């Protein structure tokens, strides 16, 4: 079931990194034109870190605690590259892409759960 | 040092990165390519499409054929290594050693006939793989230089992390429209930080892979320098046997292969045969690693005279030995399936980009004020930057091109491929010296893009079994390889366009002027 | 940290030599010492010591460049070499040291 876990990992990593990135003044301003409110910063950071931890736990449980972390880090780097490129060339797409990534993660999770 | 901790670390980062940067770039690029070493070798031997792989049940007979060939060809060799056919490597891959001072031998056989296979002579992906840690130098020299560079990279990584004040807030920042110094700094930070776990892992595990050469002193004190006993005690090899100096006939290997296959459930990779025709003749069957991170090949050792099993090594390593083999395994990434391998490859590309942007950044930060002559040191660094960042990719592309264009029957063909590699590298490093610096960059990048396209063209033109000429039939590998070359060509062409567009701090302009042309504006280089 | 004056260049060269030579000496001696003193089977001790040695080497290099003066850095590295060398002498005897030099 590696492809499903990888999709889950990539999606979750991308969404989590996008949340963390939106919690930073500069990037929030790039996309929405304003600084984020204090509450929004906290919310985005909590969601972002929770997503990263969840990704690690899912990868570890699904692939074993030797493969899982390796795959998690790989997915994190891959998602990070995508996010940075999107952010500098098409910043407006970051939010929809984050939502789509979350969808991909859910699809991967569903496939993993039911298949 | 003066100026406090952070400044000393910034200094250390700058200079440690610079002095080894050019070699590191070559190590990173060839190492990244080595994730696809087997695929590259396969691509460079297009005749292999005609060879059928052997089934496991045939392996005893195939091994006997290999032994028959070696008996005729290398009867006095001190050791034989028989690489058995695998799905992705369908040939018998033979290698023999004559002991110190005498050249070793190598042959590729058709597993079904036991005769030399009609494939072009090439070192394939192995050349890039060995270059990654030996730089095509005598092994001792090459490995020490690579080790020193890797150790320096480790120091550069640590000092780079310490220097980087705002690692989290800069994590996602790549300001592509700002001054080139700014965007190169951002690109250096992003490629360094995003793949930082990979960079630290690959550097440390790379050093660990050759650790007993770099740091033999534990074996010196605890084993009086006897590294074979150390390897055997730590469970990495079967117990070594010295020659008994009593002649004895060596038994046929077929039954041993059959028994080894019945003992270990993994894929059988090959046999090593030492002390032949001696009472202590030993045959070791080596298997592929089981699923897992660890580089840990199960092994079955046979008495070469009686054919009896001496020892079975399969798992059961102690903690430190397991840590060591896991580190080696992480470095080689044999365990990675296609998707994970692609991610490792991507991380390797980011490592190469981190080194390249760091090198360019050094020279950008030291550009002289308007009208001033560039100092010698800067011009030297600029020349070396182009020579490695343009020269090496050009050399790799020419290496692939030579594989397709040199006549298959040319004597010493594989050596000519390697000569083409170095000739291209030297040419690509020297020609830019005669050109204005920034023009040299854009021309060089265009050249590399063109060479990548030429590889694809030569592949389609020269390989009759190419899928594009057979309406999609044939091996997908050729399509993947050509696709990767096209992607690289696009990447280099894109970079060339960026460099050509950027109106950068030429001598007549103030240094802080906006340096990127506005998007959509015509290039006016 | 522009190395403009000769004395500063000499100090930087001194640090480079100290970091490379001294760092390797500290790492080598600690590998040898840990290999014969760690309370585990000797193959495990050797592997553990060797795996750690490169972290030790990197640490010494960073330290040599981080300390305020070259003199302090040299004192620290030489002190570590003496302590580790003495420890190795006690743990393994001069016999091993002589063997290590050969």
HEC string for B108-167 = EECCCCCCECCCCCCCHHHHHHHHHHHCCCCHHHHHHHHHHHHHHHHHHHHHHHHHCCCC
For A10-44, the pLDDT digits (tens) are 999 999 999 999 999 888 888 888 888 999 999 99
Nearest CA in chain A to B330: A70
C21 vs B: CB within 8 A: no
Q: Could A81 and B194 be called an inter-chain contact, meaning their C-beta atoms sit closer than 8 Å?
A: yes
3-state secondary structure chain A: CHHHHHHHHHHHHHHHHHHHHHCCHHHHHHHHCCCCCHHHHHHHHHHHHHHHHHHHHHHHHHHHHHHHHHHHHHHHHHHHHHHHHHHHHCHHHHHHHHHHHHHHHHHHHHHHHHC
The complex's ipTM? 0.92
C-alpha to C-alpha distance for B347 and B355, rounded to whole angstroms = 12
Question: Taking a contact as any Cβ pair under 8 Å apart, which residues of chain A between 19 and 48 contact chain B?
Answer: 20-21, 24, 26-27
Q: Would you state the pLDDT for residue B71?
A: 93
Evaluate whether C65 touches B12 at the Cβ level (below 8 Å).
yes
- Supply the pTM of this predicted model: 0.91
Higher-pLDDT residue of B69, B2: B69
B120-134, B139-153, C80-94: which has the minimum mean pLDDT? Answer: C80-94
Report the pLDDT averaged over residues B484-506. 84
C-alpha to C-alpha distance for A37 and A30, rounded to whole angstroms = 15
Look-up: residue for tokens 């320096």?
B152
Q: Assess whether pLDDT exceeds 80 at residue B331.
A: yes
C-alpha to C-alpha distance for B411 and B393, rounded to whole angstroms = 26
B223 vs C: CB within 8 A: yes
Higher-pLDDT residue of B152, B50: B152
C-alpha to C-alpha distance for B15 and C61, rounded to whole angstroms = 13
| Residue among A58, A105, A61 nearest A79 (CA) | A105
C44 vs B: CB within 8 A: yes
Nearest CA in chain B to C71: B1
Nearest-10 Cα torsion for B458, B404, B348, B163: -80
Task: Give percent of chain B with pLDDT exceeding 70.
Answer: 94
For C49-90, the pLDDT digits (tens) are 999 999 999 999 999 999 989 999 999 999 999 999 999 999
Tokens of B243: 């020659």
- Partner residues linked to B337 by β-bridges: none
C-alpha to C-alpha distance for B449 and B496, rounded to whole angstroms = 9
Look-up: residue for tokens 């893009």?
B449
Evaluate whether B100 touches B75 at the Cβ level (below 8 Å).
no
Q: Assess whether pLDDT exceeds 70 at residue B236.
A: yes
Longest pairwise C-alpha distance within chain A: 44
| Residue among B253, B260, B303, B262 nearest B282 (CA) | B303
Tokens of C5: 């004056």
B299-303 sheet: strands from edge to edge: B105-109, B92-97, B79-83, B268-274, B282-287, B299-303, B309-313
Tokens of C53: 């040695």
Higher-pLDDT residue of A51, B56: A51
Q: Assess whether pLDDT exceeds 90 at residue B407.
A: yes
How many other C-beta atoms can be found within 10 angstroms of the C-beta atom of residue A77? 24
Query: Residues of B with CB below 8 A from C53's CB?
Result: 211, 215, 218
Higher-pLDDT residue of B472, B366: B366
Tokens of B408: 């298959």
C-alpha to C-alpha distance for B305 and B253, rounded to whole angstroms = 10
pLDDT band at B504 (very low <50, low <70, confident <90, very high): low
Q: Assess whether pLDDT exceeds 80 at residue B389.
A: yes
C-alpha to C-alpha distance for A95 and B194, rounded to whole angstroms = 20
Query: Residues of B with CB below 8 A from A77's CB?
Result: 194-195, 197-198, 343, 346-347, 350
B219 vs C: CB within 8 A: yes
Q: Assess whether pLDDT exceeds 80 at residue B363.
A: yes
Task: Give percent of chain A with pLDDT exceeding 70.
Answer: 98
- Partner residues linked to B96 by β-bridges: B80, B105
Report the pLDDT averaged over residues B216-228. 93
Query: Residues of A with CB below 8 A from B345's CB?
Result: none
Across chain A, mean pLDDT equals 90
pLDDT band at B422 (very low <50, low <70, confident <90, very high): very high
Look-up: residue for tokens 């592509």?
B176
Q: How far is C72 from chain B (nearest CA, A)?
A: 11
* CA-angle at B49, arms to B44 and B53, nearest 5°: 110
Report the pLDDT averaged over residues B456-480. 87
Across chain B, mean pLDDT equals 89
pLDDT band at B155 (very low <50, low <70, confident <90, very high): very high
Q: Would you state the pLDDT for residue A16?
A: 95
Q: Assess whether pLDDT exceeds 90 at residue B144.
A: yes
For C8-48, the pLDDT digits (tens) are 888 889 999 999 999 999 999 999 999 999 999 999 999 99
**Helix B319-332, helix C42-66: angle, nearest 10:** 60
C60 vs B: CB within 8 A: no
Q: Could C88 and B221 be called an inter-chain contact, meaning their C-beta atoms sit closer than 8 Å?
A: yes
Report the pLDDT averaged over residues A98-112. 90
Which of left, alpha, beta for B288 (phi over 0: left; psi -120 to 50: alpha)? beta
Higher-pLDDT residue of B472, B7: B7
C-alpha to C-alpha distance for B67 and B227, rounded to whole angstroms = 29
**What one-character DSSP code corresponds to residue B225?**
T
C-alpha to C-alpha distance for B506 and B47, rounded to whole angstroms = 52
C1 vs B: CB within 8 A: yes
C-alpha to C-alpha distance for B238 and B231, rounded to whole angstroms = 8
Look-up: residue for tokens 């700094």?
B185
- Partner residues linked to B82 by β-bridges: B94, B271
Q: Could A87 and B292 be called an inter-chain contact, meaning their C-beta atoms sit closer than 8 Å?
A: no
pLDDT band at B371 (very low <50, low <70, confident <90, very high): low
What b/e sequence results for A23-62 when a residue is b if at least 16 CB atoms lie within 10 Å of its CB, and e otherwise? bbeebbebbeeeebeeeebeebeebbeebbeebbebbbeb
Q: Assess whether pLDDT exceeds 70 at residue B516.
A: no
Say whether B79 sits in a helix, a strand or coil: strand
Q: Could A67 and B171 be called an inter-chain contact, meaning their C-beta atoms sit closer than 8 Å?
A: no
Q: Would you state the pLDDT for residue B180?
A: 80
What b/e sequence results for B336-359 when a residue is b if at least 16 CB atoms lie within 10 Å of its CB, and e otherwise? beebbbbbbbbbbbbbbbbbbbbb
HSE, side-chain direction, 13 A CA sphere, residue C21: 9
Query: Residues of A with CB below 8 A from B173's CB?
Result: 26-27
HSE, side-chain direction, 13 A CA sphere, residue B169: 6
- Partner residues linked to B471 by β-bridges: none
Contacts of B143 (CB under 8 A, 6+ apart): B133, B134, B210, B213
Question: Taking a contact as any Cβ pair under 8 Å apart, which residues of chain B between 122 and 141 contact chain C?
Answer: none
Q: How far is B313 from chain C (nearest CA, A)?
A: 16
pLDDT band at B513 (very low <50, low <70, confident <90, very high): very low
Tokens of A70: 């390796």
pLDDT band at B341 (very low <50, low <70, confident <90, very high): very high
Q: Would you state the pLDDT for residue A77?
A: 92
Is chain A touching chain C, with at least 3 CB–CB pairs below 8 Å? Answer: no
Sign, CA dihedral B405-B408-B409-B412, equals positive
A83 vs B: CB within 8 A: yes
Q: Assess whether pLDDT exceeds 80 at residue B474.
A: no
pLDDT band at C95 (very low <50, low <70, confident <90, very high): low
């Amino acid at each position: 079931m590696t492809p499903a876990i990888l999709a889950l990992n990539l999606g979750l990593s991308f969404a989590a990194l996008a949340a963390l990135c939106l919690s930073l003044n500069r990037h929030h301003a790039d996309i929405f034109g304003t600084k984020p409110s204090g509450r929004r910063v906290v919310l985005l950071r909590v969601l972002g870190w929770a997503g990263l931890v969840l990704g690690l736990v899912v990868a570890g449980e699904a692939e074993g605690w030797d493969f899982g972390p390796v795959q998690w880090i790989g997915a994190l780097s891959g998602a990070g590259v995508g996010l940075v490129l999107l952010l500098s060339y098409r910043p407006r797409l970051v939010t929809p892409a984050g939502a789509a990534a979350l969808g991909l993660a859910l699809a991967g999770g569903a496939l993993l759960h039911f298949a | 040092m003066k100026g406090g901790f952070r400044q000393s670390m910034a200094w250390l980062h700058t200079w440690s990165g610079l002095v080894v940067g050019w070699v590191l770039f070559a190590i990173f690029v060839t190492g990244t390519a080595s994730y696809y070493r087997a695929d590259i070798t396969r691509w460079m031997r297009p005749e292999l499409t005609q060879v059928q792989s052997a089934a496991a049940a045939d392996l005893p007979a195939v091994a006997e054929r290999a032994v028959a060939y070696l008996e005729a060809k290398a009867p006095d060799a001190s050791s034989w290594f028989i690489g058995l056919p695998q799905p992705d490597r369908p040939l018998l891959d033979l290698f023999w050693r004559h002991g110190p001072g005498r050249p070793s031998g190598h042959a590729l056989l058709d597993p079904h006939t036991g005769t030399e296979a009609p494939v072009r002579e090439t070192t394939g992906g192995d050349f890039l793989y060995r270059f990654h840690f030996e730089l095509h130098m005598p092994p001792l020299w090459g490995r020490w230089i690579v080790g020193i560079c890797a150790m320096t990279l480790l120091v550069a990584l640590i000092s780079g992390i310490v220097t980087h004040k705002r690692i989290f807030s800069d994590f996602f920042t790549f300001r592509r429209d700002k001054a080139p110094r700014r965007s190169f700094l951002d690109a250096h930070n992003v490629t360094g930080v995003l793949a930082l776990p990979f960079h630290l892992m690959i550097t440390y595990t790379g050093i660990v892979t050759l650790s007993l050469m770099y740091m033999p002193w534990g074996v010196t004190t605890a084993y009086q320098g006897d590294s074979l006993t150390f390897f055997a005690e730590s469970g990495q090899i079967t117990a070594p046997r010295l020659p008994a100096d009593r002649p004895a006939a060596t038994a046929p290997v077929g039954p041993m292969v059959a028994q080894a296959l019945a003992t270990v459930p993994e894929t059988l990779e090959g046999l090593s045969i030492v002390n032949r025709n001696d009472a202590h003749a030993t045959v070791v069957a080596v298997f592929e690693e089981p699923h897992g991170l660890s580089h840990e090949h199960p092994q079955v050792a046979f008495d070469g005279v009686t054919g009896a099993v001496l020892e079975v090594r399969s798992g059961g390593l102690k903690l430190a030995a397991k840590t060591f083999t896991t580190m080696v395994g992480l470095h080689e990434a044999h365990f990675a399936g296609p998707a994970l391998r692609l991610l490792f490859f991507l991380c390797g590309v980011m490592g190469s980009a981190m080194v390249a942007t760091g090198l360019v950044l050094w020279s950008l930060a030291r550009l002289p004020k308007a009208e001033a002559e560039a100092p010698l040191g800067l011009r030297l660094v600029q020349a070396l930057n182009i020579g490695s960042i343009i020269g090496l990719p050009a050399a790799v592309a020419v290496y692939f091109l030579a594989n397709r264009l040199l006549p298959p029957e040319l004597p010493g063909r594989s050596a000519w491929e390697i000569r083409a590699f170095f000739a291209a590298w030297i040419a690509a490093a020297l020609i830019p010296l005669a050109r204005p610096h920034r023009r040299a960059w854009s021309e060089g990048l265009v050249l590399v893009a063109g060479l990548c396209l030429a590889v694809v063209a030569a592949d389609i033109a020269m390989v009759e079994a190419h899928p594009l000429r057979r309406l999609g039939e044939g091996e997908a590998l050729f399509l993947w390889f050509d696709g990767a070359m096209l992607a690289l060509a696009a990447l280099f062409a894109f970079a060339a366009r960026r460099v050509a567009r950027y109106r950068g701090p030429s001598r007549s302009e103030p240094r802080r002027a906006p340096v990127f042309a506005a998007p959509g504006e015509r290039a006016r280089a | 940290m522009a190395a403009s004056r000769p004395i500063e260049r000499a100090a930087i060269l001194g640090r480079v030599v100290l970091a490379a030579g001294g760092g390797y000496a500290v790492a080598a001696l600690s590998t040898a010492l840990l290999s014969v003193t760690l309370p585990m089977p000797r193959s495990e001790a050797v592997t553990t010591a060797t795996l750690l040695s490169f972290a030790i080497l990197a640490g010494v290099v960073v330290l040599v460049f981080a300390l305020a003066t070259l003199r302090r850095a040299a004192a620290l590295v030489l002190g570590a070499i003496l302590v580790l060398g003495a420890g190795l002498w006690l743990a393994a005897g001069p016999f091993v040291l002589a063997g290590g030099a050969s």
